[in-house]
Amino acid sequence: MNILVCISHVPDTTSKINFVENDTQFDTVGVQFIINPNDEFGLTRAIWFKEKTGAQVDVIHVGTAAADPTLRKCLAIGADKAYRIDTTPRDGACVAQELAAFAQQHAYDLIIAGRESIDYNGGMVPGMLAALLDIPFVANCVGLDVDQGVATAAREIDGGREQLKASLPLVIGAQKGLVEEADLRIPNMRGIMQARQKPFEVVPSQNATPKTKDVSFEKPIQKAEVKLIPADNVDQLIELLHNEAKVI
Amino acid sequence: MSVLVFTETENNILKRNAAEVASYGVALAAQLNSTCSAIAFDATDAESLGHYGISKVIDVAGTPKHFDAHTYADIIANYAQNNGVNQVVLSSSADAKYLAPILAAKLGAAYVPNVVALPEGSTPLKVKRSAFSNKAFAFTELLADCSIIGVGNNAFGVKEQPTSCTLTSFAADGYTPKTEQLAIEKVTGKATIADADVVVSGGRGLKGPENWHLVEDLAEVLGAATACSKPVSDMGWRSHDEHVGQTGKPVATNLYIAIGISGAIQHLAGVNASKVKVVINNDPEAPFFKAADYGIVGDAFEVVPKLTEKLKDFKAQH
Ligand SMILES: Cc1cc2nc3c(=O)[nH]c(=O)nc-3n(C[C@H](O)[C@H](O)[C@H](O)COP(=O)(O)OP(=O)(O)OC[C@H]3O[C@@H](n4cnc5c(N)ncnc54)[C@H](O)[C@@H]3O)c2cc1C
Ligand SMILES: Nc1ncnc2c1ncn2[C@@H]1O[C@H](COP(=O)(O)O)[C@@H](O)[C@H]1O
């Protein structure tokens, strides 16, 4: 089985979000970038398939060399080969088009992306990719098994989960639950050494056309100070929620 | 040129969020001097969309047996392409977010999720959406001939403007689903985090799963869904689908009550889109108080039962 894991490279969850150039650019100064947490769950499942069934696991990122350390980390965790499509992607549609063009030239049985990137929160790449390739897609994927070319997958839905069956090739949007958090891999010394020898290919881009453009950003207005209510006066809280906030 | 709203159904009844997406679609059409219709799959109450200004509902007959996102996208794309639809409006539910990117690829449309207001300008449309896990907003231009707008939950609100509503049947046949549903497990009769007006959430401050009656009793009085912080689900005190935050479910409700939750940045990122936040925590320095509207500094084990009792009295009177 050949597996492609799509990796997005995002600011660490604790990052302060600021903008520069008149609020038109995200300020990356001092920001630590990490593998998108949803992709980490997907990568871990891919490596599980590699260890159990001998699957080949490739990772791919559409972007600039700034993400190379993130891809190296994926190799150190256990992926076999890394690709980077060399471009500054302008939106999710561009990324999906680049990935689709790449996937069409390779024979992947399974394409694993994350539910959403935690930076721009588009949640659009995996679904668009599946549609462009005209293959099945399971979003919010919290369980995946493959047996003789057929996948059974669990999808988290509002208030529960759904079990689905789909043929390969298949795209999934991975998230927490796909593997246990305790099973997430961190690179060890041996993995880091091995990663240096692993193939890493930079692929030219298709110059896909964007469909959207983020023209500026704004931070939420600072919240008014919290209204504190004495612990022995819950009646006051109820009164405020009813008359002032009008939510009960 | 027209606006099409996708309204979701559950057990043949429109979901609650249909009212909000319909209101948005109608307002968008008014702004663009356009018309607005809705597309619904097997809704027995589709005409009720007239309350929100929808005068025409495309009633899809012969809907696939389960929500297969590709099939739904095929049907909507087919209708849109043959009826001059330039804007599609849908919600931010899990199903809508599953469907929208597929639909966007099929229509070659520009898709923007988590939109919080009507667009500014019309050529191109420019929308405000939340990004960076609610730590910022982006203003995004839609550059394709067709636009798909995902309205953030509770971001626009419901606007009533009754009009008479007619149904037009649209035959959906000849589609092959790309997935087969094997089973569905769903809690019934309980508010879900995505759908509820109020969410009551508990953190590690509650000490153990045996104390969750505090959260459940309060939620019951309020008709609320229950949720929890990440460590609580990691430790198995509560099931994973209650985990809210940046890496869990997003919450954008009218009222979010956090009990014994410190308010770590990853937690806040996922719940900040809620309108009113109430925090109950015994540590006055807990970071959550900075993000809250109302707070009680106190022991949850004393405050919450009192609050639940008083709310019962309040509900009995209102
Ligand atoms: C990559 C990453 C992603 C993450 N994603 C998420 C996420 O999506 N969601 C999430 O929730 N967390 C997430 N976290 C974890 C987050 O950083 C915090 O660790 C977590 O939110 C803390 O949970 P808590 O508030 O329940 O526990 P604690 O931080 O331990 O807080 C417990 C609180 O309870 C209070 N308390 C104690 N006793 C009482 C009492 N008797 N009465 C009232 N209050 C009391 C304490 O004062 C304290 O403030 C993530 C972390 C990382 C690194
Ligand atoms: N630049 C990128 N390169 C490779 N994969 C990406 C990129 N951006 C997004 N993805 C994948 O698509 C998923 C959803 O991202 P998004 O649509 O940006 O929210 C991510 O979790 C990744 O798996």
Q: B198-317 maps to which CATH number?
A: 3.40.50.1220
Mean pLDDT by 10 residues, chain B (318 residues): 95 94 98 97 95 96 86 96 97 96 98 96 92 92 97 95 96 89 88 92 98 98 97 94 92 97 96 96 97 98 98 95
In a domain, A209, yes or no: yes
The per-residue pLDDT for B258 is 98
For chain A, residues with pLDDT lower than 70 are none
In a domain, A59, yes or no: yes
Contacts of A229 in chain B (CB under 8 A): 294-296
Is A146 near ligand 2, meaning CB less than 6 Å away? no
| Closest residue to atom 4 of ligand 2, CA basis | A61
Which parts of chain B are beta strand (E)? 2-7, 9-10, 13-14, 35-41, 56-61, 85-90, 110-115, 120-122, 125-131, 136-142, 147-151, 166-171, 180-186, 198-202, 225-228, 255-259, 276-281, 294-297
The per-residue pLDDT for B133 is 86
Binary contact (B132, A17; C-beta < 8 A) = yes
> Which among B66, B193, B314 has the least Cβ separation from residue A238?
B314
Contacts of B269 in chain A (CB under 8 A): 13
Q: What is the C-alpha to C-alpha distance for residues A38 and A184, in angstroms, rounded to an integer?
A: 11
Residue at B313: amino acid letter? D
ipTM computed for the complex: 0.95
Q: Do domains B2-171 and B198-317 have the same CATH topology?
A: yes
In a domain, A176, yes or no: yes
- Domain ranges in chain B are 2-171, 198-317
In a domain, A21, yes or no: yes
Please state, in angstroms and as integers, the Cα–Cα distance from residue A195 to each residue in A3, A143, A188, B170, B216, following that order.
18, 28, 11, 55, 49
Which parts of B70-172 are beta strand (E)? 85-90, 110-115, 120-122, 125-131, 136-142, 147-151, 166-171
Is B266 near ligand 1, meaning CB less than 6 Å away? yes
**Residue A96's CATH number:** 3.40.50.620
In a domain, A33, yes or no: yes
The per-residue pLDDT for B186 is 86
CATH superfamily of B2-171: HUPs (3.40.50.620)
Binary contact (B180, A166; C-beta < 8 A) = yes
Considering the entire predicted model, what is its pTM?
A: 0.95
The answer to whether residues A191 and B109 touch, using CB atoms and an 8 Å cutoff, is no
Which residues does residue A113 pair with via DSSP β-bridges, in sequence order? Answer: A173
Beta strands at A150-157 and A137-147: parallel, antiparallel or unpaired: antiparallel
Among all residues of chain A, which has the CA nearest to that of B106? A131
Q: What is the C-alpha to C-alpha distance for residues A242 and B13, in angstroms, rounded to an integer?
A: 30
Q: Judge whether A166 is closer than 8 Å to chain B, CB to CB.
A: yes
Among all residues of chain B, which has the CA nearest to that of A133? B105
The per-residue pLDDT for A121 is 76
Our count of domains for chain A comes to 1
Q: Judge whether A40 is closer than 8 Å to chain B, CB to CB.
A: no
Q: What is the C-alpha to C-alpha distance for residues B295 and B278, in angstroms, rounded to an integer?
A: 5
Is B282 near ligand 1, meaning CB less than 6 Å away? yes
Q: How many CB pairs under 8 A join A and B?
A: 263
DSSP state of B200: E
Contacts of B99 in chain A (CB under 8 A): 127
Contacts of B252 in chain A (CB under 8 A): none
In a domain, A234, yes or no: no
DSSP state of B155: T
Which residues does residue B259 pair with via DSSP β-bridges, in sequence order? Answer: B202, B280
Please state, in angstroms and as integers, the Cα–Cα distance from residue A102 to each residue in A4, A91, A205, B234, following that order.
10, 17, 9, 37
Among all residues of chain A, which has the CA nearest to that of B181? A164
Range of the domain at A196: 2-215
The per-residue pLDDT for B13 is 94
Is B260 near ligand 1, meaning CB less than 6 Å away? yes
